[in-house]
Amino acid sequence: MTPKVLGLLDFKLPEEIIESVTTSARIHVGPRCFDFHSGNPLVYMTSRSKFDTLLATKAAEAGAEFRDDTLVQNLVRRASSIEVQTTHGIFEAMIVVGCDGMGGSTARASGLYARWDPSEVAYAIESEVPIGKEAVLEFMGAERYFDVYFGVSPAGYGWIFPKDDHLTVGVGCRLNKLRDGPQLFKNFVDSLKELDGCDIPSPRAHLVPLGGAVHVPVVGDRVLLAGDSAGFAEALLGEGIYFAIYGGQIAAEVASEACRKGRFDADFLGSYERRWRDAFGTDFESSYKMARLSYLENYDMDRLAKFFFSAPRFHECMMGLLDGSIRYRDVPKKLAWLYLKYKLAKLHLPVPA
């Protein structure tokens, strides 16, 4: 979780769910390594089992009835309600907010969309590598690093996130550029000398939407989508938790208004579309554009690294994106001068100092 997630929550994150707090990043581009230091937290590392349990508990404390192990199978719109058919019974609702991720059933069952285009989605394959608490601390060092690796995927990057007693090791690739996911993971892991001699548990593959590339409908009669099922993960850093929570909050406000006014038609619920777009739609566009220019399409990372990765302005932008002081939509303007120099170099033209 980036620090800006904490600003969205109306409760303090309990210490026991934070497995480590990283304050620096090592960005690897082939054999070169660029250091990013910040005196402040860059990423709070947790595990989904802990974080999701916390969120479910908080929802239940607020009055929600939490039904675990209950899969939504179908939705049927009735004259004055919507029927939610699940593996454990049928529920009658005024409105449904579908936040069932990329493989969920709400979007399809409500007729909003049936499938993803491979160009709108990133494939990510990860393993949790147990190395013990001490080895994790040693890996992080006094600067408390996490690592990102470019040049290990045709349209993506790899990562090592230090957690409590293990490392989360993974690599991603835009789905339409992927050939063999398990092989991509194996090649990445084999290239990491930090993992020499480690037992690597079988990796698990997941999908994540590339916000900005995604254009799926998220509003229908009596239905709203939020989180990954709405395509709410930005493409540059692959950050989805912040936008899932932010979008979920907007969806909750719109659903409450709908209940107060007794209006559940797509026209009335359309304010959700306007509000999430106002809140972070242009951030998705910018982040997708930057991801395309850097590693999704125009893979030119050596030259980009040379012009960007050591520049204080770039560091400031990256830190600002994580702590929320800078928006994705503002980054292109802030980096315009560096980008101009990079473009001139690419065209073999003289580059001003």
Ligand X SMILES: Cc1cc2nc3c(=O)[nH]c(=O)nc-3n(C[C@H](O)[C@H](O)[C@H](O)COP(=O)(O)OP(=O)(O)OC[C@H]3O[C@@H](n4cnc5c(N)ncnc54)[C@H](O)[C@@H]3O)c2cc1C
Q: Binding residues for ligand X, per CB under 6 A?
A: 71-72, 99-101, 103-105, 124, 126, 170, 206, 208, 227-229, 233, 238-242, 244
Q: Minimum CB separation from ligand X for residue 346, in Å?
A: 31
* DSSP β-bridge partners for residue 90: 85
- Which residue's CB is nearer to ligand X, number 72 or number 351? 72
Q: Closest residue to ligand X, Cβ-based?
A: 240
Looking at the Cβ atoms of 232 and 309, the one nearer to ligand X is: 232
CA 244 distance to own-chain centroid: 9
In DSSP terms, 166 is beta-bridged to 130
The nearer residue to ligand X, 91 or 139, going by C-beta atoms, is 91
Q: How far is the CB of 144 from ligand X (least distance, A)?
A: 16
Q: Specify the DSSP element, H or E, that contains 299.
A: none
What would the two tokens of residue 169 be? 């090791």
In order of 35, 79, 236, 309, the CA distances from 312 in angstroms are 12, 59, 19, 8
Closest approach of ligand X to the CB of residue 37, in Å: 20
Task: In whole angstroms, give the CA distance from residue 39 to residue 24.
Answer: 8
For the CB of residue 248, give the shortest distance to ligand X in the complex, in Å. Answer: 8
Closer Cβ to ligand X, 101 or 332, answer by number: 101
Rounded to a whole number of angstroms, the minimum distance from the CB of residue 345 to ligand X is: 32
Neighbour count for residue 242 (Cβ, 10 Å): 23
3-state secondary structure of 276: helix
Calpha distance 55→5 (Å, rounded): 13
Smaller CB distance to ligand X: residue 108 or 313? 108
